Structure formats: C-alpha cells, structure tokens
Structure 1
Amino acid sequence: MNSQIDALKASLDKLSGEMGEMSQMAAQHFDELHDAVNNVASHTLAMEAIIAAMLANIEIDQQAVTNWIRAKTAEFSSPEHGESAAETIARDFLANN
C-alpha cells in the first residue's frame, strides 16, 4: 500500500512541477505578446503622427482612400457587413486632420 501511495505522490509531484513549468512558459509568452503589441502600437502611433503632419499640407480624397481599402479587403469582406474598421479609422483620421 505504501508503494502505491509513494507512486501516487511521485506522480503528483511530477505533475505539479510540470504545471509550474507550463505556468512560467505561459507567463513568458504573455510578456512577449505584450511587448509585441506595444511595439506595433508604438509604430502605429509614430506613423499616425507623421501622416497627420503631412495631411496639414496635402489634401486627401477620402473616397479614394475608402475605395483603396475596399479593393484591398474585398476578398475578405462583404458589402452587407457595412463599413470596415479600416474605413472607419481612415475616415475618422482624415476628419481630425
């Protein structure tokens, strides 16, 4: 009976160790994902700042922008879904600059 309890304890200890390793790996992956998202957001903000400065001197045809977005996303979207997030962002960005 003691050998069965010892074997069960050893299995539980092994499982506990593996769960701890999985938790550490998940935390590491989460940190890496957070850094990647932060990096993308920082690049996006920098590009928006540059474009905003350019828009102060250049007039942009909003419909041309919308048409370009629709052409590039036509394969992945359908008209019945309405305006895409990209179209909304572009429209709002152009309206604010």
Structure 2
Amino acid sequence: MTKFYFEFNKHEYYGLVVSEANTYGEALEKSYQIYQSTVAGDSILDVTSEGKPDSINEKDALLKFLQGCENENAQDLMNEFNYTTDTALLVDGTLL
C-alpha cells in the first residue's frame, strides 16, 4: 500500500489528508470519506461537489504539516507524520 496526500484547499474548510491505498483512485475516494468524517461535510456528495482536492507529494505534505504544527518537538512531529495514515493531518484552524 502507498500513502497519498490530498490538500482540500478549494473547500469551505482547509484539510490536509493522508490516505493509504493500492491505487490513486482508491486513495482519492478514501480521502473524501476522511475529509467528511474528520474535517467537514454533511455527506460525501457534499464534499465531492465542492471540487477535487489537489494531490501533493510527500515532501510538500511534510512541509505543510511541519509549518502547521510550529512550536512542537520536531522528532515527535516526524514520527506522527511517518506513522499516521487515513486521517486529516491538518484542519482549518477555525474549526478548532
């Protein structure tokens, strides 16, 4: 299985999602479910109607994750990033 990173930056609320799957298509479908359950959306249809997320590479996802988690222990953040899957890594701050 491969990790895929999706940035929901066209949606009402920002989300950076990591999804693990065998194919890009499977990961994309799973990312909609993850976004809906961990960030926002009444249904998968609502999430998909707002647009397709941007697929980003692991390096860019890591940089965004580290920037979004400033003032945290770097080693702990690296461990969290490397071992976390099928969840939102970052969510819009207005939701917190």
TM superposition score normalised by structure 1: 0.29
* Structure of greater Rg: 1
As a proportion of its length, which structure holds more strand? 2
As a proportion of its length, which structure holds more helix? 1
Greater relative CO, 1 or 2 (CA 8 Å, sep 6+)? 2
TM superposition score normalised by structure 2: 0.30
